[in-house]
């Protein structure tokens, strides 16, 4: 895909958000299924703008609990704009500043370890999206005896500690595709980058402010 002509996010609201700080002048460097990654403040960070809040929410919980097996959240801006207005299922744009991680493809040992882990958890060495209640609860049972290798220890612990809370969320899917496992280059550890999808937990106060102001870009405490 030509990143310069990406179509993951588009339109007037997207263009308005990317024209203001901290995204103003930042280049698009990668695309996800519901997100666009921009260059960060240094080569060690990225900005992630997404129409889904699950990854940012997951990273925030990991940070609060001191769980290292998840992409590090450097700054959380929360919902910064109303992307598509709908009375029943509105979409928002969520912004976060995250650590920069490396693809598994350049780490063959870690890639092989993740394939073995995913085969145990999803019956496929390439992973899967777990959306049904049955599949999500089966995942929790499989996590109890998941194979643990030195490079995957932190990521297994992160799933064991954090996934149970998300299993109870009806609309949240567990995204265990292999591409959502990445490597922290400084340590060689595998971490989760986009571990869940389908969350849009915005407060009524925030929604009203976005409706009134259009774009609100400020770091959440």
Residue 221 lies in a domain: no
- Tokens representing 138? 């089966």
The reply to whether 67 falls in a domain is yes
How many whole angstroms from its chain centre is CA 18? 19
Q: What is the pLDDT of residue 4?
A: 64
Q: pLDDT tens across 26-67, in order?
A: 999 999 888 999 999 999 999 999 999 999 999 999 999 999
Q: What is the pLDDT of residues 111-135, one digit of tens each?
A: 999 999 999 999 999 999 999 999 9
Q: What mean pLDDT comes out for the span 77-105?
A: 91
Is there a domain that residue 28 lies in?
yes
Task: Report the length, in residues, of the chain.
Answer: 221
Tell me the β-bridge partners of 79.
Answer: 94
Q: 51 near 93, Cβ under 8 Å? A: yes
Task: Note whether residue 218 is domain-resident.
Answer: no
User: Partners of 76 in the beta sheet?
Assistant: 96
Q: How confident is the model at residue 7 (pLDDT cuts 50, 70, 90)?
A: confident
Q: Judge if 129 and 59 occupy the same domain.
A: no
User: Mean pLDDT over residues 198-215, rounded?
Assistant: 90
Domain residue limits at 126: 105-192
Q: Indicate whether 97 pLDDT > 90.
A: yes
């Amino acid at each position: 895909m030509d990143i310069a002509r990406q179509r993951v996010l588009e339109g007037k609201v997207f263009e308005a958000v990317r024209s203001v700080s901290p995204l103003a002048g930042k280049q698009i460097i990668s695309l996800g299924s519901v997100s666009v990654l921009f260059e960060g403040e240094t080569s060690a960070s990225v900005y992630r703008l997404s129409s889904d809040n699950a990854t940012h929410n997951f990273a925030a919980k990991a940070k609060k609990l001191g769980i290292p097996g998840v992409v590090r959240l450097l700054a959380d801006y929360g919902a910064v704009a109303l992307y598509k207005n709908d009375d029943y299922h509105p979409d928002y744009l969520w912004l976060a500043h995250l650590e920069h991680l490396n693809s598994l493809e350049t780490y063959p040992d870690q890639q092989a370890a993740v394939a073995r882990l995913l085969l145990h958890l999803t019956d496929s060495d390439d992973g899967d999206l777990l959306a049904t209640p049955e599949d999500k609860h089966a995942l929790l049972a499989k996590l109890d005896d998941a194979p643990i290798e030195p490079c995957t220890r932190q990521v297994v612990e992160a799933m064991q500690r954090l996934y149970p809370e998300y299993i109870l969320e009806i609309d949240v899917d567990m995204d265990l595709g292999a591409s959502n496992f990445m490597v922290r280059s400084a340590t060689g550890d595998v971490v989760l980058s986009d571990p869940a999808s389908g969350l849009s937990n915005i407060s009524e106060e925030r929604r009203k402010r976005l409706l009134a102001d259009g774009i609100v870009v400020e770091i959440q405490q």
